[in-house]
Amino acid sequence: MGNGKSTGLSVNAKTIVMILLFLNVGFTVKMINKYNEMKDAGYVREKTFEEYMQKRVMRAFGSIEEMNKIVEDAARQKEEADRIVKSVREHATENKRINNELASAKTKLLAERSKLQSTIAELRKKLKEKEK
């Protein structure tokens, strides 16, 4: 993972990476809250915390740059998914409109067919009467 190429990761691997990212973020928030509660924290403690978090990122992602690439990739995928959802919703609305038009046309055709069948039946009846 530290080679700078995240495009070869499967969806499951990306999901696991995102879970690890969220776990690390959750841990970071917890540590920051704990840190803020301590009044005696100073530069040394802050530096130690920063180094500790960098080590966690390095273990989880290989590098901070790799983590940033994964986060950016996830953001791009979300934007693409949102765009696809919008497109599908627009197509669904258009399909409903077309289906309504087709249903209306079908109803008209069935009524016309019934009318034609009645006319044909009347004409046959008149033709039989004429032949007699």
Q: Is residue 23 part of a domain?
A: yes
Mean pLDDT of 21-33: 68
Residue 110's domain comprises: 83-132
pLDDT for residue 74 is more than 80 = yes
Confidence of residue 1 (pLDDT cuts 50, 70, 90): very low
Close Cβ partners of 61 (under 8 Å, ≥ 6 residues apart): 1, 2, 17, 20, 21, 67, 70
Q: What percentage of residues in the chain have a pLDDT greater than 70? A: 67
Distance CA 107, CA 111 (A): 6
Close Cβ partners of 51 (under 8 Å, ≥ 6 residues apart): none
Domain count, the chain: 2
Same structural domain, 58 and 91: no
Q: Is residue 78 part of a domain?
A: no
Mean pLDDT of 75-103: 91
